[in-house]
Amino acid sequence: MPLGKSLATWCQEYPLIEELVALRPLSWFNPGIAPAAEALGDVGLSQADVDAASARLARFAPYIARAFPETAGSGGIIESSLVALPHLQALLTERHDLSLDGALWLKQDSHLPISGSIKARGGIYEVLKHAEDLALAEGLLRLDDDYATLDSDAARAFFGRHKIAVGSTGNLGLSIGIISARLGFQATVHMSADARQWKKDKLRAHGVEVVEYACDYSVAVAEGRKQASADPFCHFIDDENSPDLFLGYAVAAERLKAQLAAAGIRVDAEHPLFVYLPCGVGGGPGGVAFGLKLAFGDAVHCLFAEPTHSPCMLLGVYSGLHDEVAVQDFGIDNLTAADGLAVGRPSGFVGRAMQRLIDGYYTVSDEELFRLLALLQSSEGLRLEPSALAGVPGMLQVLGEQQGYRQRLGLTPERLARATHLVWATGGSMVPETEMSAYLARGQALLQAERQ
């Protein structure tokens, strides 16, 4: 047991650990939440850093538009759409016998161009930043150049002398591998055992080296980090500790703010916005939540969602041990079909930086992820990978909670009636058809069993 204490002692001091170990779905609303104005200072990054990341993405837009023609319509800006889920909301209302006030929406990062997951934000951003740093230092590029010139044999020959490496459960490797290979870098992805075969195949087809491990994500990251540190020409993208990845994700918030305004959705104290973010190691949801807190302050409420078999961030924040503890230390197996969330040890950077800014955490069983996958398809015609469904039950957690959370934060019935609940759909558009059919069949079978 961690820190030399028995499980019984842990459970006595931290009663939720018993529930976590029993793999029971649960929610925990953070008693340490603080006003954004105060807690944003914990992060060590600021609005100016997010603005710089946003400006960098704008500089690269002409390159992205040229290298990835599917982004030409948005001028090389990698962004996803916002859609309402009225039919799913009606279905959930009926299934859970709750009156679901407010409106349920979906942020479709599942359909982000280039790599079909939220990793097309942070992962691609960090590779672009590294490429820019190298090219500026080499005199190959000036800040006011048209970056489309990087789509040239000369630039590819230059980047080809450099390497990029990353450890991944699948999607981060996919996004970093694709953009790195397109720029000309030698890319290596260290894949954990959870990674789907099609993700490895796709990367190899792009000329990326894929190293496979029989172990979980933390081992793949540690191994990748070790190999890269021996090579001065190799940049290791460290998903457990990277401020650059984090900032790439954070840019999502200003884009969302514009989309909400365009849809006529108000966000302020009287019109709260709840955002439900599937969490693996924490960089993606942490970065997005950081941006949201900068953009909306206390009017936005962020909750992280994890599989019952991989509740690493909940465990780390709840126990205060952060990355000093892994779910496996408590005998939780970290085996889940939600491969994007199959992480046993959280990012210590994100857990500590964001611990006063995240309203709550909850867990979802794999079976429920599959049921929700089938429900979303039948109600709205939308298809996501299992990880990406974890945000869907968030609204039920908030409206059904009995921990005094809503009262504590002044979330009155009147305010909740005007609330927007946003599910962050983190991946799925690139899942092969046969794989998706199997997911849907499994979800439908589980729904059928539930009705009997």
Ligand X SMILES: *Cc1c(COP(=O)(O)O)cnc(C)c1O
Nearer to ligand X, 267 or 323 (CB): 323
Nearer to ligand X, 387 or 420 (CB): 387
CA angle 303, 307, 311 (to 5 degrees): 75
Q: How far is the CB of 123 from ligand X (least distance, A)?
A: 9
241 CB-near residues (< 8 Å, 6+ apart):
347, 348, 349
Please report, as residue ranges, which positions from 113 to 132 form the binding site for ligand X (by CB under 6 A): 117-119
Does 340 participate in binding ligand X (rule CB under 6 A)?
yes
# residues near ligand X by CB under 6 A: 20
Q: How far is the CB of 283 from ligand X (least distance, A)?
A: 4
Q: How far is the CB of 425 from ligand X (least distance, A)?
A: 8
Please report, as residue ranges, which positions from 264 to 293 form the binding site for ligand X (by CB under 6 A): 278-285
Q: How far is the CB of 385 from ligand X (least distance, A)?
A: 6
Q: How far is the CB of 249 from ligand X (least distance, A)?
A: 8
Q: Which x/- pattern, by CB under 6 A, does the window 358-397 give for ligand X? A: ---------------------------x-xx---------
Nearer to ligand X, 134 or 279 (CB): 279
Nearer to ligand X, 186 or 363 (CB): 363
Q: How far is the CB of 104 from ligand X (least distance, A)?
A: 19
Nearer to ligand X, 112 or 181 (CB): 112
Q: How far is the CB of 369 from ligand X (least distance, A)?
A: 11
Does 33 participate in binding ligand X (rule CB under 6 A)?
no
Q: How far is the CB of 110 from ligand X (least distance, A)?
A: 8
Please report, as residue ranges, which positions from 137 to 176 form the binding site for ligand X (by CB under 6 A): 171-172
Q: Which x/- pattern, by CB under 6 A, does the window 410-429 give for ligand X? A: ----------------xx--
- The values of phi and psi at residue 121, to 5°, are -90, -75
Nearer to ligand X, 132 or 306 (CB): 306
Q: How far is the CB of 194 from ligand X (least distance, A)?
A: 11
Q: Which x/- pattern, by CB under 6 A, does the window 59-98 give for ligand X? A: ----------------------------------------
Strands 27-29 and 234-237 come out as unpaired
Q: How far is the CB of 164 from ligand X (least distance, A)?
A: 18
Nearer to ligand X, 283 or 344 (CB): 283
Nearer to ligand X, 272 or 282 (CB): 282
Q: How far apart are CA 106 and CA 219, in angstroms?
A: 33
Member of 155, 332, 341, 358 binding ligand X (CB under 6 A): 341
Does 336 participate in binding ligand X (rule CB under 6 A)?
no
Q: How far is the CB of 338 from ligand X (least distance, A)?
A: 8
Q: How far apart are CA 75 and CA 62, in angstroms?
A: 7
Encode the chain in three state secondary structure: CHHHCCHHHHHHHCCHHHHHHCCCCCEEECCCCCCHHHHHHHCCCCHHHHHHHHHHHHHHHHHHHHHCHHHHHHCCCCCCCEEECHHHHHHHHHHHCCCCCCEEEEEEHHHCCCCCECHHHHHHHHHHHHHHHHHHHHCCCCCCCCHHHHCCHHHHHHHCCCEEEEEECCHHHHHHHHHHHHHCCEEEEEECCCCCHHHHHHHHHCCCEEEECCCCHHHHHHHHHHHHHCCCCEEEECCCCCHHHHHHHHCHHHHHHHHHHHCCCCCECCECEEEEEECCCCHHHHHHHHHHHHHHHHHEEEEEEEECCCCHHHHHHHHCCHHHCCHHHHCCCCCCCCHHHCCCCCCHHHHHHCCCCCCEEEEECHHHHHHHHHHHHHHHCCCCCHHHHCCCCHHHHHHHCCCCHHHHCCCCHHHHHCCEEEEEECECCCCCHHHHHHHHHHHHHHHHHHHC
Nearer to ligand X, 283 or 316 (CB): 283
What six digits make up the tokens of 292? Answer: 């949201």
- Return the closest-CA partner of residue 20 out of 240, 328, 393: 328
Nearer to ligand X, 272 or 278 (CB): 278
Nearer to ligand X, 107 or 415 (CB): 107
Which residues lie near ligand X (CB under 6 A)? 117-119, 171-172, 278-285, 340-341, 385, 387-388, 426-427
